[in-house]
Every structure is written in C-alpha cells, then in structure tokens.
Chain A
C-alpha cells in the first residue's frame, strides 16, 4: 500500500513565524500535492509538483511556498504565518498517469493553528 506520511498531526504556531509542513511518500510517485481543507469549502489546491525541483501554483498559493529537493519529500512553507492560515493541511501523491484513472493517495493531515 502507498504510504503518505505527514510529519505532524497537530501544530500550534504564532503569527509571523515561518512554518514548515513536511510530507513523505514511499511509492516513488512523480506527482505530489498540498491542499488545505476548510469547512464548507472542501479541498483547495495550494501547490503541486510533478518532478523534483518542479512546482506549480494551485488555486490558492498566496502566502505559501513549497520545496521538492527529493522525489519522496514535498514541503509546504508558510513564510509568515497568519491567523487565516489556520486550517487542516493535506498532502497527497500520485503516479504520472499513463491513462486517466490514477487516484491520489492522501496523508492523515496536519491540523495547524496560528495564534
């Protein structure tokens, strides 16, 4: 089974701090993704990466950056945390699809609170 591991289940940080969320997958997947999940809004894509050192903006990249130095690891960075970034953050990975039916595999999420 694919394993996507997020480094923290719960995290509390202060406004203005630089915050790192780490994600590791063990199945040699090409694609990795960061989402945030908020009540009533579902999942919104922040950034994704389809190869090492490659990154693309998703739907809500403002206030975030990412790093993909190794294939198995994808980091989300909050450059200067703000209270409106309090949320559940989900990491996902998937194979490069030869067809169109490759699902994404998710980690258990990091619930981040910014005080």
Chain B
C-alpha cells in the first residue's frame, strides 16, 4: 500500500541552524506531495506542496523538491527560528475517485534560542 516515512524526532536545533527533515514515500500511482505544520495546540496547516516531479514547493523560507527517482520530498530551511518549533507532517495524495491522504507520523522540531 501507499506509505510515507519521516525521520523520527524530536529534532532539536539552535536558532539560525540549517534544517532538513527527511521524507520518503511509496505509492502505487503518481502522487501530489505536501508538507503540513502543526503548531502547539492547533490543527494542521498546509506549508507547501508539489504536484509533479522536479517541482519545488516553497513557503515561509521552507523548501522541498519532489524527487521521483529517489521517491523523496525532504523539507529544508536555511535558518530556523524559535517560532518554527512545531510538528511537521509529510503527506501524499493520489488522484482517483476520492481524496485519500496518506500522512507520515510527524517530526517534532524544537528550536532553542
């Protein structure tokens, strides 16, 4: 079946450090890929997306590139801030009759001053 694998957290970084959160997927079709962010006490918010191979999604300084050859969609940010502390979820959506989303288990990021 379809699945998303994320690196286990928590990830603890100092402010202004470089961030990478790994995400790989397996899918029977040709998925669209997403990163969601969940701040403490809130629901999930869409952070960025990519719908085809080699697309780069970007938002708020975060980037991720859809790599079909390695089935990956790693999240990166050049300089993290304390306000980026949250749980990050990688997800995929397949085309089809209904929109079933497959989520990874989430990676908690803690940024310390």
Contacts and interface: CB of A to CB of B under 8 A. Distances in A.
Interface string A30-64: 01010000001111010010100000100000000
Interface of A: 4, 31, 33, 40-43, 45, 48, 50, 56, 90, 92, 94, 97, 99-109
Contacts, number: 59
B113 interface: no
B103 A42 contact: yes
B99 A97 contact: yes
Given A41-B105, A109-B43, 7 more contacts: A42-B89, A42-B104, A100-B95, A101-B49, A103-B49, A104-B99, A106-B43
Interface residues of B, number: 24
Nearest to A50: B98
A108 B105 CA distance: 18
B44 interface: yes
Interface string B22-60: 000000000110101000011111100101000000000
Interface of B: 31-32, 34, 36, 41-46, 49, 51, 89, 93-95, 98-101, 103-106
Which of A31, A97, A107: most chain B Cβ within 10 A?
A97
20 contacts: A42-B105, A48-B98, A48-B100, A56-B98, A92-B44, A97-B95, A97-B99, A100-B32, A100-B93, A100-B94, A101-B93, A103-B34, A104-B101, A105-B46, A106-B36, A106-B44, A107-B43, A108-B42, A109-B42, A109-B43
Contacts of B106: 42
Q: Which 4 residue pairs across A and B have the least CB separation, nearest first?
A: A106-B43, A42-B105, A100-B95, A106-B44
Contacts of A42: 89, 103-106
A90 B43 contact: yes
Contacts of A101: 32, 49, 51, 93
B103 A43 contact: yes
Most-contacted residue by chain A among B31, B42, B43, B89 (CB, 10 A):
B43
